Structure 1
């Protein structure tokens, strides 16, 4: 059992409901917490969207009931869907309210994303305490709305409290999945078909490219255009997103996958460099593994700017090099990767000087306290 395990005084009525989705980043913390609650004897359920990535991730990873509800996107911009989506949100609130009223969980834990808002409101209407988690430096719109109905908001960055206020914030630090540190480099090389040469010093170093759970067209294009130069020095494993495989990208030192789940710890273990977006959960996982990273954050036109702030924070700390998407092309990518690799030992040293701590244990204790259950140890 990991050091973050929290023993709780359990009876048959102890029940927790998790929610969150829309992207893998809105599920990762839930995947880290749920096994601990199951181990402690809690009944665990999940409410998510009908078609979101959370449904697949939960079904493939955990033996818990999953209840889908209607959801609508909460937009800050004009769209014809803004007319329809409020009705989907109202339907989702009704569905969540009825489920929570019937099941009476002791506490609801929300990781955020648009699907979480109806669940949080449904819990509040049933007077069930809600604990939120915000991974990014600044809160998203869903968590801003949901925070009004929560008894506590747990944060990854200490600076986040300044953007929320209200005296509800608890800084816990990064919550990491236990399995992320259990990867095997040899298994990763074998899975990728790069096992010839094994871990010997004369093998080509490996770059792992991650464009997010849905992939990134700009990163995919730049990587594939840069392959002739990159593969002179590196091997490249590319997680390109569903529907974005390119059969024409044929190179003996290049492997592409739409999405990886169970094998991801092995791919991380074998990788010498990471090229990635700048979602908070992923960044702290790379930090814990001491992987030098080149970050290409989403622009303000593509997002609310949270990844720009995350990336800037990691660059200031000396953990990452940042390449803005506006400057991204094959030549800039090759240059940035070469610079990162030439200075990789300095990045590794700085990451090694940073303690991660037991955020998962702190977060679990706060959830247990909100549920009105006492924790021991």
Structure 2
């Protein structure tokens, strides 16, 4: 059997593909199963997927935007058609049994080619508001898996609510191992700050503004993004009180092993509001403060965050409201009411769907066995 996966190159697209592929192999461990990835060339996706034994093939990628621009015109008239023809001939040669799309730039060319070749398409949508690629692909997808119960736009007859697939390996962290990895003191409540797989400059800059206030009462693991780590470390050394530096632990990126231990040791998590982040945070049952990316397509991060926060699992702070006094007051208030943190943790666990990847894997295998 051959399954082609496609999707954008960010962690929000790639990590779920890894989770689904692992579950398919657990359920169906036979050797006559090949995973391919066809999509835009991306170093992050290439490294991660090659480690999972995906066969990688790259196509020219274009993005469909919700507004007019010269770049949008170039993508629609040139890049997407070029990617379509590349995908068409790749799929024609491979003849996969199924194409699974996670959406994002690059996926539309692959799914359009699959439609022309009459290859079955399954789709997963992470967000409350679907991206344009998934909106288009949904018209010819056989099944659509969704993360949130209130996902907009899709044909209800095709929808299967599964949650967002997460890697179950991140659920098995250990506090003592975290202490060793990050050189923690564990003498104060610990806050884990994550800006997404690529980091978040606005969050990084804000952390530096309030770093001394934070470190007086809390220990911090700060995930800056690989591209930002050296700059953040240098700036922190300038602005941070020297007697507080033992409580500050910046790191560029958390691989799977480090991530599970960081999640375990955290008392509260500050994060962007991508679906992947929300579902990982909920699976580990941690209270969170979500800072939606204001430029996310269709404002989907804000909508994700507010759906999640309505359950009592998180607090939402829009980036435009990130002021030192307001933010520090919010953190102190949460830690001042342990019962509130406990309720947030319970709400997070109630929302979580740790079996999402397995549910999707079963649907894929059941379809392939019957067709």
Give the TM-score normalised by the residue count of structure 2.
0.89
- Whether 1:348 and 2:341 are equivalent positions in the alignment is no
Alignment of 1:4-15 (within 5 A): 14-15=1-2
SS of residue paired to 1:138? coil
Deviation at 1:85, TM superposition (A): 1.6
- Whose helix proportion is higher, 1 or 2? 2
Mapped contact 1:129–1:370 kept (Cα < 8 A): no
Pair 1:140-2:131 in alignment: yes
Q: Once the 2 structures are TM-superposed, how far is the Cα of residue 339 of structure 1 from its aligned partner?
A: 2.3
Aligned length: 352
Q: Measure the CA separation in 1 of the matches of 2:333 and 2:225.
A: 26
Report deviation, 1:302: 4.3
- Worse-superposed segment, 224-233 or 81-90: 81-90
| Matching of residue 233 in structure 1 with residue 204 in structure 2 | no
- Once the two structures are TM-superposed, the CA of residue 95 in structure 1 deviates from its matched residue by 1.2
Q: Deviations over 1:61-86 (max 9, x none)?
A: 31221111110122223333223222
CA drift at 1:171: 1.4
Stretch deviating more after TM superposition (50-59 or 284-293): 50-59
Partner in structure 1 of residue 283 of structure 2: 288
After superposition, the C-alpha distances for 1:285-327 in whole angstroms (9 at most, x for unaligned) are 111111110001122x443111111111111100001111110
Residue of 59, 75, 81 corresponding to 1:90: 81
Equivalent-residue separation in structure 2 for 1:365 and 1:310 (angstroms): 26
Deviation, 1:356, is 3.0
State which of 166, 172, 178 in structure 2 corresponds to 1:182: 172
Which 10-residue stretch deviates more, 211-220 or 110-119?
211-220
Check the 8 A contact 1:38/1:44 in 2, yes or no. no
1:35 to 19, 22, 34: 22
Which stretches of structure 1, 4 residues or more, deviate above 4 A after TM superposition? 352-355
- Structure 2, unpaired ranges of 5+: 238-244
- 2:255 paired with 1:268: no
Q: How far has the Cα of 1:52 moved from its partner?
A: 5.6
User: Can you list the C-alpha shifts for 1:77-123, whole angstroms capped at 9, x where unaligned?
Assistant: 33332232221111111111111111111111111111111111111
> Which runs of no fewer than 5 residues in structure 1 stay unpaired?
1-13, 198-202
Residues 273, 341 of structure 1: 8 Å contact kept:
no
Report the Cα distance in structure 1 between the residues aligned to 2:278 and 2:17, rounded to whole angstroms.
17
Distance 1:355 1:93 in 2: 36
Give the one of 159, 163, 187 matched to 1:173. 163
Other-structure match for 1:47:
38
Query: What residue is the counterpart of 1:7 in the other structure?
Result: none
User: Aligned-residue CA RMSD in angstroms?
Assistant: 1.9
3-state SS of paired residue (1:231): helix
Deviation at 1:240, TM superposition (A): 1.4
Segment of structure 1 superposing worse, 42-51 or 25-34: 42-51
* Matching of residues 297-312 of structure 1 within 5 Å: 297-299=292-294, 301-312=295-306
- Rounded Cα–Cα distance in structure 2 between residues aligned with 1:298 and 1:352: 24
Structure 2 CA distance for aligned equivalents of residues 323 and 192 of structure 1: 27
> Is the Cα contact below 8 Å between 1:131 and 1:151 reproduced in 2?
yes
* Pairwise CA distance, 1:37: 2.6
